[in-house]
């Protein structure tokens, strides 16, 4: 993953890899970045380890850099890297996105930053591959194993945890509006 990856993404990848006895390689690159070749040169310093997944930010958080994910994905595939995952938390609503054209295996984004949706609204695009067939959210219904969209259609599989309570919302809004 790029060393500019968002902190929670780094921690998630590290936690996952620790459970799986894998290794995380953080690719350092200078700022400003001149080309994808710099990233690939750093990724090449992987001490003979096979890379199964590359995690790329579409737009890094700090500093804000737009990564040319389509070209970097093509380069990764040519280098024999199995899967590319794009964290697009800052991209949706900021740059034009054509996920199928990018060619990545996974593309995910929250939608609250630049599209102004509630914080729990997000997307996960998964190209049809052997990896994506095992994906499932933690809510299970009678439709489990059929299709993710079918398994998510039943109202009991919705996760309401992130939805604000009306009282808290209106109390906070009133305090904000009426403050002198």
Residue ranges of E strands in 12-93: 53-57, 83-87
Digit-coded pLDDT (tens) for 133-144: 566 666 666 667
CA 10, 15, 16 angle in degrees (round to 5)?
A: 100
| 122 and 58 within one domain | yes
| 54 and 72 within one domain | yes
Range of the domain at 92: 7-134
| 16 and 65 within one domain | yes
Q: Is residue 164 part of a domain?
A: yes
| 150 and 69 within one domain | no
Distant-in-sequence, close-in-space partners of 71: CB < 8 Å, separation ≥ 6:
36
Query: In this predicted structure, what is the pLDDT of residue 86?
Result: 94
| 86 and 16 within one domain | yes
Residue ranges of E strands in the chain: 53-57, 83-87, 106-110, 122-126
| Strands ordered across the beta sheet of 106-110 | 53-57, 83-87, 106-110, 122-126
* Domains in the chain, number: 2
Digit-coded pLDDT (tens) for 142-171: 667 776 666 666 655 555 555 555 445 455
| 57 and 67 within one domain | yes
pTM greater than 0.85: no
Q: Is residue 2 part of a domain?
A: no
| 153 and 84 within one domain | no
Q: Is residue 128 part of a domain?
A: yes
């Amino acid at each position: 993953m790029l060393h500019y990856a968002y902190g929670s993404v780094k921690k998630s990848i590290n936690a996952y890899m620790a459970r799986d006895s894998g290794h995380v390689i953080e690719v350092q690159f200078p700022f400003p970045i001149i080309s994808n070749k710099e990233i690939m040169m750093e990724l090449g310093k992987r001490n003979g380890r096979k890379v199964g997944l590359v995690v790329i930010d579409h737009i890094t958080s700090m500093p804000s850099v737009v990564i040319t994910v389509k070209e970097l994905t093509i380069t990764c595939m040519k280098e024999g890297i199995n899967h590319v995952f794009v964290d697009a938390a800052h991209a949706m609503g900021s740059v034009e996105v054509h996920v199928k054209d990018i060619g990545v295996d996974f593309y995910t984004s929250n939608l609250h930053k630049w599209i102004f949706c509630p914080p729990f609204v997000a997307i996960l695009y998964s190209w049809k591959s052997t990896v994506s067939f095992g994906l499932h959210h933690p809510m299970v219904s009678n439709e489990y194993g059929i299709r993710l969209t079918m398994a998510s259609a039943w109202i009991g599989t919705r996760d309401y945890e992130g939805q604000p309570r009306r009282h808290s919302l209106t109390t906070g809004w009133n305090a904000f509006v009426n403050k002198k």
